[in-house]
Amino acid sequence: MSAPHSSTVLSSKGQIVIPMPVRKALGLRAGDRMAVEMDAKRRRVVLQPKRRRNWREMRGAFGPVDQTTSQILAEARREEIEKEDRS
């Protein structure tokens, strides 16, 4: 499969639109993050899509969790009530 080739215009805000054929070929969606590199020697800008993180990969990223979501929310609400009572 050959790479889609097209051109775009730099806006007054410094924004560009990635043409639809390129977005489709790379599977890009609105809100996707891009790494931006400048290749000064070859006078070009390289955009690299950042990999989307799967929620399953995030599991345990902040250490072990010993409470359910309901318990965490109930505790946060209790702390809010205590704070309001002290005021």
Predicted TM-score of the model (pTM): 0.50
pLDDT at position 86, please? 86
Considering the domain boundaries, does residue 12 fall inside one? no
Considering the domain boundaries, does residue 81 fall inside one? no
Burial per residue of 10-42, b for 16 or more beta-carbon CB atoms within 10 angstroms, e otherwise: eeeeeeeeeeeebbeeeeeeeeeeeeeeeeeee
Considering the domain boundaries, does residue 36 fall inside one? yes
Considering the domain boundaries, does residue 31 fall inside one? yes
Considering the domain boundaries, does residue 29 fall inside one? yes
pLDDT at position 18, please? 92
Range of the domain at 40: 20-49
Considering the domain boundaries, does residue 62 fall inside one? no
Mean pLDDT by runs of 10 across the 87 residues of the chain is 74 93 88 91 90 69 79 92 88
Considering the domain boundaries, does residue 4 fall inside one? no
Considering the domain boundaries, does residue 65 fall inside one? no
Per the structure, how many domains does the chain have?
1
